[in-house]
Amino acid sequence: MITQQVLLRDAMRRLAMTRDAFADRIGSRRRALDSWLLPDDSNEFRAMPEVARRFVQEILANAAACAEAATQSVYREPAKPGVALTHLLSVDQFTRESAEDLFRLADVMLPIARRRKVTRVLEGAVLANLFFEASTRTRVSFGAAFCRLGGSVCDTTGFTFSSMAKGESIHDTSRVIAGYADAIVVRHPEQGAVAEFARATNVPVVNGGDGPGEHPTQALLDLYTIQREFSRLGKHVDGAHIALVGDLKYGRTVHSLIKLLALYKGVRFTLIAPPSLEMPAAIIDRVSRNGNVVEVRDSLQGLADADIVYATRIQKERFAEESIEGYGAAFEIDRALVERVCKPDVVVMHPLPRDSRPGSHDLAADLDGDPRLAIFRQADNGIPVRMAIFASLLGVDKLVQRSMRDAQWTPPTFIGPEDSPFHGLD
């Protein structure tokens, strides 16, 4: 049986309802709904009455009957022998419904990500984590997600210590690694290289970032984060105002995220970048549909009225010039700017790493500890979302819930000293 938290989150997502509207719909008080959504071991957690669970299930069944065709996940293709499993290369593989299916599975993973439960559904499986570019969170969180499903991880980092330094082709490397591993995550400095990698194998390949191209799993965890933050704040992705700031030309996270967000309706995008680092026109063109509006601004005054401010690092490793024309202190997002310009309930995000060196003008550290700053919740969400991706790709998604056992150790209640009890914010 799925947990009440998974059921309720799924219901609110599918019905596109805020907590207030949903509480109203099921005839409960908002406070009761909040208490049903808390982790089981929180002091304020309450079990949802059976009658309420049945009512929610009924509402969901009716909604599903109306939107039946839409709920096929991109991963669940018919398992014909010899046919390749789907790789995860681009957000273009997703519909709104399949992204939300994945988020439902990520919700199922939350007690494991919070270290209250364990599972062994991927026991014996091996992940090859091939990172030919710098990475901390993507590499470690993919590895940790696979381990938390019971699998093991083999890593290789950089070209220097791989046979590519000896001139080996992507094709050969891919085919060889496929003989050793059951899933492969690749990060590579060239756009399209991960897709080339995927063409040489039937083992699922996940794009961990291909040059300035895409970073689909980051976009998925970003959207998951936006939905969770919005659920708490009583907002919807449909009709939201999302501001993307910084290096929009070479930043692959924003390329994937804006395309994924464009699956929603009536989204207003404000793009703020120095003139040499603007979002590629082809992407702007693509997302300016579905009633979505894109406005290009050249100053942070454009953040007024944004629901989400998504800052990015200047991708210095992708171009030769030492300094970027037009980029300076006027692009720095700090507490004073947020207080002066932004809405009081703005959510500030960043894919991280932020460049904290003096003169970088990346997202400042003086918002740390402020609940509007979602960057660490965002990074934490990489675990349940990447677990959901692996479970889908390897076909164990249905087994996770009933495989869970209690964890034998006790994690700290606050992951960081400034955190709320492991996301008890929601």
3-state SS assignment for residue 184: strand
115 vs 137, beta carbon nearer ligand NCD: 137
Binding site for ligand NCD (CB under 6 A): 137-138, 209, 215, 218, 252-253, 313, 315, 351-353
Q: Which of 262, 147, 255, 144 lies closest to 209 in space, CA to CA?
A: 255
CB of 212 to ligand NCD, least distance (A): 9
- Of 111 and 382, the one with the shorter C-beta distance to ligand NCD is 382
Closest separation in Å from C-beta 209 to ligand NCD? 5
Helix, strand and coil percent figures for the chain, each rounded to 5: 45, 10, 45
Q: How far is the CB of 320 from ligand NCD (least distance, A)?
A: 18
Strand locations in 152-234 (E): 152-157, 183-188, 205-210
CB of 376 to ligand NCD, least distance (A): 12
- Residue number with CB closer to ligand NCD (9 or 252): 252
**Residue 244 CB, nearest distance to ligand NCD (Å)?**
13
Which CB sits closer to ligand NCD, 19 or 215?
215
Residues with Cβ within 8 Å of 45's Cβ and at least 6 positions away in sequence, in order, are 35, 36, 38, 39
Separation of alpha carbons 98 and 4, rounded Å: 21
Between 114 and 313, name the residue whose CB sits nearer to ligand NCD: 313
- Residue (4 or 138) nearer to ligand NCD, CB: 138
Smaller CB separation from ligand NCD, 48 or 389? 389
Distance from the Cα of residue 420 to its chain's centroid? 20
Q: How far is CA 152 from the centre of its chain?
A: 22
Paired tokens of 102: 């994945």
DSSP codes of every residue in 272-310: E--GGGPPPHHHHHHHS-TT-EEEEESSGGGGTT-SEEE
Contact 154, 179 (CB under 8 A): no
CB of 64 to ligand NCD, least distance (A): 34
Whole-number minimum distance, CB 315 to ligand NCD, in Å?
6
> Nearest Cα to 112, choosing from 384, 365, 377, 310?
384
352: Cα within 13 Å, side-chain hemisphere: 21
Q: How far is the CB of 411 from ligand NCD (least distance, A)?
A: 23
- Closer residue to ligand NCD, CB minimum distance, 151 or 211: 211
Distance of CA 363 to the CA centre of its chain: 19
Q: What angle do CA 93, 94, 98 make, to 5 degrees?
A: 135
Amino acid identity, position 326: G
Q: Dig out the tokens for 369 from the structure.
A: 């500890």
Cβ distance to ligand NCD smaller for residue 191 or 315:
315
Q: Least CB distance from residue 194 to ligand NCD, whole Å?
A: 13
